[in-house]
Amino acid sequence: MDFKDLVIQLDMVLTEHDRLAAEQMWRNQTEMQTPEKFVTYSDTYYLSDGGYSRVAWSELYGYLFYTSNSTDKVKENWEKSEAQAVIKKLENVLRSVYGEQWKFMTKEETE
């Protein structure tokens, strides 16, 4: 599964919208369509629920998270195993942009 498919799959799993809706959001966010652009340009991806919910990237910690204004449905779906599987794959792709020399911090290191 390539980067585009992972992002679209995550949108579909989180919002429960169909592929067409998720692909339309993908097309509207051209600045985010490669892993390199995702981590450097904006780091916040708007989901197909009208843009209420967003998925963001933490460059400091190297993980994805939903923003506080995300809908309850997205927050609930985030915890499901299907979503977690896609999230882990997408995080691995995004972490690979930084190369082996980059070390993400753990929460313990910042406290």
Q: What is the pLDDT of residues 10-50, one digit of tens each?
A: 999 999 999 999 999 999 998 889 999 988 876 789 999 99
Q: How far is it, in rounded angstroms, from Cα 50 to Cα 110? A: 34
Q: How many domains does the chain divide into? A: 1
Whole domain around residue 75: which residue ranges? 3-110
Tokens of 54: 């967003």
By C-alpha distance, which of 15, 19, 82 is closest to 45? 15
Q: What is the pLDDT of residues 77-97, one digit of tens each?
A: 999 999 999 999 999 999 999
Q: How far is it, in rounded angstroms, from Cα 60 to Cα 88? A: 17
SS3 at position 27: helix
pTM for the predicted model, two decimal places: 0.89
Query: Taking a C-beta distance cutoff of 8 angstroms, is the pair 9, 83 a contact?
Result: no
Beta bridge partners of 63: 58
pLDDT at 110: 65
